[in-house]
């Protein structure tokens, strides 16, 4: 063998020997790490809550993610230990596995559950979060960082180390926010400024009180925070928080205003037909809504009793049923009472008020005086969170969409059908319409029935937002009249604009002035507006206006 060949063989032997030594060292390190983790977790096998809490804190301080299965099992109430203090996880099936390795295991002696109290839970929550921050998935780390809240002093050093190693920007920002409470009490101004910068960037309102305290003055007239750069950072953080809060409130108020406006439109559309076109002051209009809501309740109960597997689709039957039932009651009212009172608005007011009391008492006798619940279908449960504290619920989105469909239905009925043409003709000039061969009494009956049916559709929508009771309609009748009068008597477009406008204004006023004072302000505005413009936003023109 040549010299170079001997040299190559020796080099290979050295490399192989080095690899073996490395593997042995790695195995020793792993075993040592496992032994240390096992030693840290040994305190979990105790009926003393203090021992369990100390073991949790040790595991969190070590930062070894292999402790997560045992801690999660403790959190879920599935961790057990046997006579020899061996930690085991008990599955729902009853099988046992080693809490550290996950391998199948058998208990030696009696199984016991570790102690658990408020002290243990206080230690467990941040420990699970801090260990989850070592997960390879950035989404897992981000969720863990956001769940930290205000970490304890023991975990803060771990978070600082993890923050320096973190590569994901969102996780790093979440960790900076978690460290902000500790940094804000630091004696170093640079640490306090760093915390305030993180708060400003995130615009996190949970820190608003802490930041505002930095800008307070003591009894001597001096600022609590002595450093000018920290005060400037605090002012910038407060400004960012308030700007974001204003945005969140604006989006929330706009959405709730639109949903309230949609409800008002559904309530007022039928009234715009009966009052706006027929000049009948129908004080029982709210009870048409109540009848529509109770029809939904009856249909729901029918599905529960006979079509339980299709319960989610009861609303598809409730909509036409509510329109038909409310419309039929409206036709009955018109044929028996209203037809004798045309041209006498005060007497229609008194008569329909008496009818409303009769309908309320009838519903009480049939369904009882207590409210009943109409459940949302499963596909209308939940919502979409577009901003913190702003959830667009599916039920309110459905009400907005439903109101649009009903508006299109009423518009098409009034503008594209023979009945709508006859209604408009009778509204503009009853005598001329009768001379042209139109049966004005038949038109009156169908018009009143359609207006009552549309009110019943409003009741279906309300049943998805609140409980249903005998006095459901009483809370909306005044608002409905305000919408019709504000928009312009007899103008469907005015009803839509008036309903959306009142809904939005009401929701924007409530946080500022309160619910009662807000209603008073709206009523005062409408009174002043009608004094200036009696015809409303959209005034009638031509012969119809002359007949007002």
In this prediction, residues 312-340 reach a mean pLDDT of 90
Given 177, 206, 226, which residue is the final one in a domain? 226
pLDDT band at 540 (very low <50, low <70, confident <90, very high): low
Out of 296-310, 417-431, 522-536, give the one with best mean pLDDT.
296-310
User: How far is residue 500 from each of residues 111, 232, 404, measured CA to CA in Å?
Assistant: 64, 42, 12
Global confidence as pTM: 0.67
**193: Cβ contacts below 8 Å, ≥ 6 apart:** 229, 230, 233
Structure confidence at residue 223 (pLDDT) = 84
Q: Please tell me whether residues 484 and 499 are part of one structural domain.
A: yes
Dihedral in degrees, nearest 10, Cα atoms 473, 479, 484, 486: 180
Domain CATH code at residue 376: 1.10.3470
251, 393 Cβ separation under 8 angstroms? no
In a domain, 233, yes or no: no
Q: Give per-residue pLDDT as tens, 112-127.
A: 888 888 888 878 877 7
In a domain, 482, yes or no: yes
Given a cut of 90, whether residue 376 has pLDDT beyond it is no
Structure confidence at residue 320 (pLDDT) = 93
For residue 526, give its domain range. Answer: 254-546
pLDDT band at 26 (very low <50, low <70, confident <90, very high): very low
pLDDT band at 14 (very low <50, low <70, confident <90, very high): low
Structure confidence at residue 27 (pLDDT) = 40
Q: Please tell me whether residues 339 and 215 are part of one structural domain.
A: no
In a domain, 361, yes or no: yes
Q: Please tell me whether residues 160 and 218 are part of one structural domain.
A: yes
Given 226, 244, 276, which residue is the final one in a domain? 226
Least confident range of 156-165, 318-327, 456-465 = 156-165
Given a cut of 70, whether residue 308 has pLDDT beyond it is yes
Q: How many CA atoms lie within 13 A of 490 on its CB side?
A: 21
Q: Please tell me whether residues 364 and 503 are part of one structural domain.
A: yes
Q: Please tell me whether residues 351 and 476 are part of one structural domain.
A: yes
439: three-class secondary structure by DSSP: coil
Structural domain tally of the chain? Answer: 3
pLDDT band at 328 (very low <50, low <70, confident <90, very high): very high
In this prediction, residues 79-107 reach a mean pLDDT of 83
Q: Please tell me whether residues 48 and 179 are part of one structural domain.
A: no
Structure confidence at residue 307 (pLDDT) = 87
In a domain, 174, yes or no: yes
CA distance 456 to 450: 10
Given a cut of 50, whether residue 4 has pLDDT beyond it is no
Q: Please tell me whether residues 183 and 261 are part of one structural domain.
A: no
In a domain, 238, yes or no: no
Q: Please tell me whether residues 346 and 386 are part of one structural domain.
A: yes
Given a cut of 70, whether residue 337 has pLDDT beyond it is yes
Given a cut of 50, whether residue 30 has pLDDT beyond it is no
In a domain, 30, yes or no: no
Nearest C-alpha neighbor of 277 from the set 493, 428, 419, 446: 428
Structure confidence at residue 15 (pLDDT) = 56
In this prediction, residues 218-246 reach a mean pLDDT of 86
Considering the chain, what is the average pLDDT of its residues?
Answer: 80
Q: Please tell me whether residues 300 and 344 are part of one structural domain.
A: yes
Given 71, 104, 132, which residue is the final one in a domain? 132
pLDDT band at 277 (very low <50, low <70, confident <90, very high): low
Nearest C-alpha neighbor of 339 from the set 348, 326, 327, 350: 348
Given a cut of 80, whether residue 404 has pLDDT beyond it is yes
Q: Please tell me whether residues 501 and 376 are part of one structural domain.
A: yes
Least confident range of 29-43, 270-284, 491-505, 509-523 = 29-43
Percent pLDDT > 70 in the chain is: 89
Q: Please tell me whether residues 215 and 354 are part of one structural domain.
A: no
Structure confidence at residue 541 (pLDDT) = 52
Q: Give per-residue pLDDT as tens, 442-458.
A: 888 888 888 889 889 98
In a domain, 7, yes or no: no
In a domain, 396, yes or no: yes
Q: Please tell me whether residues 327 and 475 are part of one structural domain.
A: yes
């Amino acid at each position: 063998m040549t010299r170079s060949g001997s040299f190559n063989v020796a080099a290979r032997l050295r490399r192989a020997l080095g690899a073996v030594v490395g593997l042995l060292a790695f195995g020793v390190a792993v075993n040592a790490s496992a032994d240390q983790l096992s030693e840290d977790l040994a305190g979990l096998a105790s009926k003393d809550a203090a021992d369990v809490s100390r073991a949790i804190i040790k595991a969190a301080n070590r930062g070894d993610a292999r402790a997560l299965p045992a801690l999660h099992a403790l959190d879920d109430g599935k961790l057990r230990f046997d006579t020899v203090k061996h930690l085991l996880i008990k599955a729902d099936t009853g099988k046992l596995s080693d809490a550290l390795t996950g391998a199948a295991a058998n208990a030696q002696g009696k199984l016991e559950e570790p102690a658990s109290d408020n002290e243990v839970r206080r230690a467990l929550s941040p420990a699970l979060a801090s260990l989850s921050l070592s997960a390879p998935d950035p989404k897992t780390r981000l969720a863990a960082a956001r769940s930290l809240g205000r970490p304890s002093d023991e975990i803060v050093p771990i978070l600082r180390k993890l923050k320096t190693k973190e590569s994901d920007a969102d996780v790093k920002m979440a960790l900076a926010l978690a460290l902000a409470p500790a940094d804000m009490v630091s004696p170093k101004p640079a640490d306090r400024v760093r915390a305030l910068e993180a708060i400003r960037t995130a615009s996190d309102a949970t820190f608003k009180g802490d930041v505002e305290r930095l800008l307070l003055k003591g009894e001597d007239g001096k600022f609590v925070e002595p450093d000018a750069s920290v005060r400037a950072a605090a002012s910038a953080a407060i400004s960012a928080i308030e700007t974001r809060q204003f945005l969140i409130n604006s989006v929330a108020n706009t959405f709730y205003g639109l949903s309230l406006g949609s409800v008002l439109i559904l309530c007022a559309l039928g009234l715009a037909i009966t009052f706006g076109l027929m000049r009948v002051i129908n004080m029982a209009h709210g009870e048409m809504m109540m009848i529509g809501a109770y029809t939904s309740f009856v249909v729901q109960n029918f599905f529960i009793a006979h079509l339980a597997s299709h319960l989610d689709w009861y609303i598809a039957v409730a909509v036409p049923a509510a329109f038909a039932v409310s419309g039929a009651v409206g036709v009955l009212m018109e044929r028996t009472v209203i037809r004798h009172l045309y041209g006498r608005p005060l007497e229609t007011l008194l008569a329909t008020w008496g009818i409303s009391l009769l309908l309320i008492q009838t519903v009480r006798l049939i369904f009882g005086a207590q409210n009943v619940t109409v459940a949302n279908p499963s596909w209308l449960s939940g919502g979409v969170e577009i901003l913190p504290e702003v959830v667009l619920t599916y039920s309110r989105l459905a009400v907005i969409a439903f109101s649009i469909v009903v508006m299109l239905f009423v518009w098409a009925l009034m503008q594209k059908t023979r009945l709508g043409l006859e209604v408009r003709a009778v509204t503009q000039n009853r005598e001329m319409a009768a001379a042209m061969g139109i049966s004005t009494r038949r038109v009156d009956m169908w018009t009143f029935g359609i207006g009552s049916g549309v009110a019943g559709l409003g009741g279906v929508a309300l049943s998805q937002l609140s409980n249903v009771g005998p006095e459901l309609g009483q809370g909306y009748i005044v608002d409905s009249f305000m919408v019709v009068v504000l928009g312009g008597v007899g103008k469907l477009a005015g009803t839509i604009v008036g309903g959306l406008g009142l809904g939005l204004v009401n929701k924007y006023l409530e946080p500022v002035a309160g619910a009662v004072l807000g209603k008073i302000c709206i009523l005062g505005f409408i009174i002043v507006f009608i004094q200036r413009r009696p015809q409303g936003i959209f005034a009638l023109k031509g012969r119809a206006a002359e007949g007002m």
